[in-house]
Amino acid sequence: MTNHWIDVKNSDVILVMGGNPAENHPVSMKWIMNAKEKGAKLIVVDPRFTRTAAKADIYASIRSGTDIAFLGGMIKYILDNKLYFREYVVNYTNASYLVNPEFKMPGELDGVFSGYDPAARKYDKKTWSYQLDENSIPKKEPALKDPNCVFRLLKKHYSRYTLDTVSAITGTPKEKLIEVYKAFSSTGKPDRAGTELYAMGWTQHTVGTQNIRAMAIIQLLLGNIGIAGGGINALRGESNVQGSTDHGILFHILPGYLPAPTATLSDLKTYIEKHTPKTKDPKSVNWWGNRGKYITSYLKAIYGDKAAKDNDFGYAWLPKLDEGMNASWLMLFDHMLKGKFDGFFAWGQNPACSTSNANKVRKALSKLKWMVNVNLFDNETGSFWKGPGMNPKDIQTEVFQLPACSCVEKEGSITNSGRLAQWRYKAIEPIGQTKPDSEIMNELYFRVKRLYQRHGGKFPEPILNLSWRYGTKDSDGRIKKVDTHLAAREINGYYLEDIYDKTADPPKLIGKKGELCTNFVTLQADGTTSCGNWIYSGSYTQKDGKVINMMARTKKSDPTGLGLYPKWAWCWPLNRRILYNRASVDPKGMPWDIKRGVIKWSLTKLNPQTNKPGIWEGDVPDGPAPPMADEKAGKYPFIMRPDGMGAIFGPGLADGPFPEHYEPLECPLSENPMSKKQRINPTVKLFYTDKNSLAEDIYANNDSRYPIVATTYRVTEHWQTGVLSRHIPLLLETVPQQFVELSKELAKEKGIKNGDKVNVASLRGKVWAVAFVTERFKPFKIMGKTVHQIGMPYHFGWQFPEDGSAGDSANLLSPTIGDANTMIPETKAFMVNIEKA
Amino acid sequence: MLRKALLISPEICIGCRGCQIACKEWNNLPADETKNEGTLENPSDLTPNLYNKVRFIEVPSETTPLRWLFVSQRCMHCDDAGCITICPAPGALFKTKEGAVAYDKDKCIGCKLCASACPFNIPRFDKNDKISKCHLCSDRISEGLSPACAKTCPTGAIRYGQRDEIISNSQKEGYEKLYGQADLGGLGVLYAFKDAPKIYGMDEQPAVPETVLLWHNVLKPLSYLGLGGAVAASLLHYIAFKPKKDEEDK
C-alpha cells in the first residue's frame, strides 16, 4: 500500500477493482463504511456481484482479464474532459518529458511498441528513452504541447480506447463506464481524494503488472498519490505477506528489495555499479543511490566478522542467478517435472492446490527423491502420492512431515498491507511436538553446518560463514532456543564502529559502536554498520542507550486526525505512514487540501538541523529537504525514482512504457480487438509452443469445447487452499464444499438447477462443484457475441475432509502462464466448460 | 438497570458471518454437518447449535444485478415475551436484569410450548428436548461485556447498548422508527431498515398468536391448582399445536 488501512476513511471515492475487501479483508470494510458514512462513493468493478458489490454505490461488471481496456478508457475520459490535476501533473510527473522521436506505439505497429523481437519475445528498449539535455537530464516541455512529450503520447495511445471499443472488449455497458469514469475522475481536484484497492484480481493475469501501472497513471493524472485518502493500495491476502515480501521471499530480490545478484556481476563493486541509479539533477534525491550502503550492511549482518573489506564482504557467498534466469514459481515446477530437482521444502504452503495447473504440480512432485512438508496439518502436497490418479507403488518420493506450531504459539513481528510492523506475543506454548518455524530452521542450519564441517563440500562458505546470532550457543555451537528479538535487532542493524557525520565540522558522532542503528540514514558502505533489511532499520532501536522495540508500541494518539496513529507500532520506511507524501503539498510545501494535510512546511518554526526557519509538520516526510520550490535545497517528491518524478511513462517494464490491452492466454476471442496481430501479451513466456512442449501446459483459445470464461477467488469463510480453515469445523459448516457460481442464463442453456452437482473442466483438469445459479453473474456481450463467465473458490482439496466431501482445487483448471514482469500465474481468466454431473 | 438492546443495521452488514462464528465459539456450540445447497447461506436454518445466523436475501433491483441483503436472525428478546408467558416450568425461561430473554436448561421440561408462542420462530430444542436459542450472551452482558456477535462485528452492523440511547441516536441518524421499537412491548433486538420490513424477511406487525395466549390464560393456572406442570403442558401443547396442524393439512 502507498497508504494504509485506516486511511481509506479519508477518501471521497473508493474504487475497488481487482479485489474484494468485504470477503477477503472484512475488517477493512470498517474504514470503507466509515468513509461512506461521511458521503464517500464506493465503486466496485468485478466480473461478479460480490459481497463488496452489495455495499457499492456503483457496480460495474467486467469480463475477467480486460482491466486495461477499462482503465485505458478512463485515461482517455480524464484527458478528453481535462479532468486531470494540471499543476500536479506538470510538476510531479514525467508528463512533460520529451521522448525519443523513434519511439512508436501499438497503434502504429500492429499491437507492439518499437523494438520488439518476436523470436525472443522481448523488447529492445533503446527507443523507450528521453531526449536529454547537455547534463543528461530529460528535456521538459511544461506546456505539454510537444507531440513527443509523454502527455501527448499518452493521449495518442489511449485515443484508441473509445467507449465503444472498451465496452465491446470488457462487456461493461457504455453508460456504466461513463458513470464510473465520471465518479472516479471527480477526484482530480485538489480538495478531492480517490483511492484504489486491489488484490489478486489484478495481479494474477499475464498483464498483471500493467493493470496496476494503468491505475498508477490515473492516480498521477488525478493527483491522488501521496495524499490522505488516495494512493494505490494492494490488499495483501495473508496477514504477513507484506513482511515476507519485504524480507526477500521472492526469487529476484534480497531483503529490502535489493536485486538478487546474478552470475555476471562477479564482485560487489560491479553489483553496486549495476544496481545504483544515477542522476545529475541536483533536485532529485534518488534514494536508490544508497544501494551500496544497504547491500554492504546486509552482508555484514548475515556474515558478521567473516565479511571484511578484503573478501568483498562475502559477496561471493551469496547465491547467484544465471544471467536472464527465470527462477519463478512456475519454473520451479516446470523444472521439477523435467527431473531437475532432487528435493523440495514445502514450507507453510500447499502448492498441490495453490498453484495454477495443479495437476502439473502434483505430477512434478512425483519426480522428487524427497520432500519436506512443514505445516500445521498434512495437506494435498504432503500426501500427493496417495491423491487422485496417483499410484503410490510407482512413486519413489520420500516425504517428511514436520509439524509447525501456529502463529499464536510464537513471538515476532507481523507486517500488514500498510507496511505496519506490529509485535505479536506468544499466547500459549507450542502444542505437542510442534515447533516454531525459526526453531525448525535453526535445527536444520545446525545439522547442515555439521555435515559441511565433518565432510567438507564443494562450497561450504555460504553456510559455515553465517553469523547466526539468534541465541546462546552451547559447546557444539548449537543454539538451544531462538530468540526472535535478536533476529529483529539484526534486521534493524548495529553500529560496528563509532560512526561520524563527516559533513559536519567538526565531525559529529551519530552512532556509537555496539549500539542498534537509529535508522537507515546512518548506514555505511564501508562495513562499519550491519543491517539485515534496510527498510526495517529504525524498527528496533536504541535511544540514550535504552533499547526500544518500536514495533511493540501501543500509543493511540492521532495528532493529525487522519488516523496516522504515529505511535502505534512502527511502519517502514522511518515510520512514514503515507508514501510519497511530498506530493501531497504544492511546490511551496502547503497541502493541496488543508483539511487533509498529511505534511506541511512550516516557516514559523526553527529547524534544529539547519538552524533556519522551515520544518515539516505532520507525517514523517519523504526526506527532510525543503519543498521543491526552494531554489537551493528543494527536492522533487518521488524520491525513489532516479528523476524524482511520478512515472506516467514507465520504460522499466518488460511489456511497454504504457499499458496496452492484450487478451488472456485463454479467451473467448480469436483476436485482440485492440490490435489484431497481437492477441496476448507479446512478452510473456509461453510454455506450450508446439507438440514437443509438455502436454500439461496445453491451452485452449476460442475453442468451442471450452467456451466459458472462468475465474477463481476466495470467500470470507475460508483461507487460501483451506489447509487452516478446512480443519476448523465451524468454518466448514458455513462453506462445506466446492461450488461454482453461474448465471441463470447459462444454467438454463446447460439444464443446470441451483444446488445441482456439476463438473467444470478445462483442457487440463476437471473439478466437481455444487452449482450456485445466481443473478450475481450475468452474461456479457463481447464483440457482439454472448459470453458467459463462471467463478469458483480454490479453498478445497481432496485430502481433507478425509471423505472427500469438499471436492478439489479450482487450480486444477487454470493454465501454466505468468505475467511478463513477475511470472505470477494467470488464474483469474481462463476458459472452461460446465456440465451437469 | 436500564434495558439493553442490540441494534442491527443491514445497510452496513457485509455478510462476513463473523457474528455467526463468534456466537458459536463463545457458546461452545459444535459444528453441524452441512452441504452446499445452492446458496452461501449455511446452515439453512437456526438449529439447537446455531443461535445466530446471517440470512442472505436477494432482492430484484433495477440499477444492479440484484440487491443483496445480509440480515442477522436470532431471538428478538421481546419485552412482552410470549415464550415466557406460556412457559409452564417455573424459572425455565426468564428475563435478565438487562432485558435479555434467557433460560435455564435444567428447569426446561421440553414441552416446546415456547415455540408455539414465539412470533419469530426462534426456539430450537437440543437432543434432550431442552430449549436452545440466543440469550444475548447473558453470561457476558452480566459482566458488563457486549455479546460475542456485537464484539466481533467489523463494521458496527451489530451494536450493543442502552436501548433508549440506541433509539434516540438512530433518530438523529434519520431512522424515524426502528423495527421492534414498539412491537411486543418493544423488542430487545432493533433493526435499522431502509425499506419495508418484509423486504428483509420480517413480519410487518409481529404478534404472539392469540389462541395460544387465550388457552394459556385458562390452562396455566391449572398447574398451580395441583395438576402437574407436565400434564398441563401436554394439554396445552395439544391445544396449541393441534389447530395449527389441521391448518397445514388443508
Q: What is the pLDDT of residues A141-187, one digit of tens each?
A: 999 999 999 999 999 999 999 999 999 999 999 999 999 999 999 99
CB atoms A49 and B65 under 8 Å: yes
Residue A652 has pLDDT above 90, yes or no: yes
Residue matched to cell numbers 485515443 = A159
Residue B245 has pLDDT above 50, yes or no: no
Question: Average pLDDT for residues A726-749, to the nearest whole number?
Answer: 98
What are the grid coordinates assigned to A161, written together?
480506447
Question: Average pLDDT for residues A464-485, to the nearest whole number?
Answer: 95
Residue of higher predicted confidence among B41 and B232: B41
CB atoms B32 and A733 under 8 Å: yes
Domain residue extents for chain B = 4-77+140-200, 82-136+208-249
Closest CA relative to residue A667, chosen from A700, A631, A638, A637: A700
- Residues A527/A308, Cβ–Cβ less than 8 Å: yes
Quote the number of domains for chain A: 2
CB atoms A735 and B36 under 8 Å: yes
Residue B246 has pLDDT above 90, yes or no: no
Closest CA relative to residue B19, chosen from A54, B9, A408: B9
Instruction: Out of A54, A730, A756, name the one closest to residue B15 (CB).
Output: A54
Taking the C-alpha atoms of residue A244 and residue A255, their distance in angstroms, rounded to an integer, is: 9
CB atoms A778 and B18 under 8 Å: no
Query: Cβ contacts of residue B161 below 8 Å, gap of 6+?
Result: B4, B5, B7
pLDDT bin (cut points 50, 70, 90) of residue B37 is: very high
Query: Candidates 3.30.1050.10, 3.40.718.10, 3.30.70.20, 3.40.109.10; correct CATH number of B82-136+208-249?
Result: 3.30.70.20
Residue A526 resides in a domain: no
Residue A538 has pLDDT above 60, yes or no: yes
Residue of A nearest to B65 (CA): A775
Residue where a domain stops, chosen among A202, A237, A272: A237
Q: Which residues in chain A are closer than 8 Å to B9, comparing Cβ atoms? A: none
CB atoms B37 and A54 under 8 Å: no
Q: Which CATH number is A208's domain given?
A: 3.40.228.10
Residue B65 has pLDDT above 70, yes or no: yes
Looking at the domain covering B4-77+140-200, what would its CATH class be? alpha beta
* ipTM value > 0.90: yes
Q: What is the pLDDT of residues A389-419, one digit of tens each?
A: 999 999 999 999 999 999 999 999 999 999 9
Residue B1 has pLDDT above 90, yes or no: no
Q: Which residues in chain A are closer than 8 Å to B156, comparing Cβ atoms? A: 30, 33
What are the grid coordinates assigned to B179, written together?
423495527
Task: Supply the pLDDT for residue A123.
Answer: 98
What are the grid coordinates assigned to A214, written together?
494503468
Question: Average pLDDT for residues A626-647, to the nearest whole number?
Answer: 96
Whether the domain at B4-77+140-200 and the domain at B82-136+208-249 fall into the same CATH topology? yes
pLDDT bin (cut points 50, 70, 90) of residue B248 is: very low
> Any chain B CB within 8 A of the CB of A795?
no
CB atoms B155 and A33 under 8 Å: yes
Q: Which residues in chain B are closer than 8 Å to A714, comparing Cβ atoms? A: none
Question: Average pLDDT for residues A39-58, to the nearest whole number?
Answer: 98
Closest CA relative to residue A717, chosen from B208, B100, B21, B207: B21
Q: What is the mean pLDDT of chain A?
A: 97
Min Cα–Cα distance to chain A from B92, Å: 28
Q: What is the pLDDT of residues A217-269, one digit of tens each?
A: 999 999 999 999 999 999 999 999 999 999 999 999 999 999 999 999 999 99
pLDDT bin (cut points 50, 70, 90) of residue B249 is: very low
> Any chain B CB within 8 A of the CB of A757?
no
In three-state secondary structure terms, B71 is strand
> Any chain B CB within 8 A of the CB of A388?
no
- Residues A424/A549, Cβ–Cβ less than 8 Å: no
Q: What percent of chain A has pLDDT over 90?
A: 98
Question: Average pLDDT for residues A457-480, to the nearest whole number?
Answer: 94
Residue where a domain stops, chosen among A178, A211, A237: A237
Instruction: Out of A730, A756, A778, name the one closest to residue B31 (CB).
Output: A730
Task: Supply the pLDDT for residue B220.
Answer: 66
Q: Chain B residues with CB-CB distance to A under 8 A?
A: 12, 14-18, 20-21, 24-25, 30-40, 42-43, 58, 64-70, 154-156
Residue B236 has pLDDT above 90, yes or no: no
* Alpha-helical runs (H) found in chain B: 18-26, 82-86, 113-117, 138-141, 148-152, 163-172, 210-224, 229-249
Task: Supply the pLDDT for residue A762.
Answer: 98
Q: What is the pLDDT of residues A295-345, one digit of tens each?
A: 999 999 999 999 999 999 999 999 999 998 999 999 999 999 999 999 999
Min Cα–Cα distance to chain A from B240, Å: 34
Q: What percent of chain B has pLDDT over 90?
A: 79
Q: Determine the structural domain holding residue A15 and report its residue range.
A: 5-237
Question: Average pLDDT for residues A542-561, to the nearest whole number?
Answer: 96
Residue B219 has pLDDT above 70, yes or no: no
Residue A449 resides in a domain: no
Residue of B nearest to A59 (CA): B64
Directed axis angle between helix A67-80 and helix A208-221, to 10°? 20
Question: Average pLDDT for residues A649-667, to the nearest whole number?
Answer: 98
Question: Average pLDDT for residues A74-103, to the nearest whole number?
Answer: 98
Residue A566 resides in a domain: no
Which amino acid is located at B198 in the chain?
A: K
DSSP state of B205: S
Residue where a domain stops, chosen among A216, A237, A258: A237
Residue A387 has pLDDT above 80, yes or no: yes
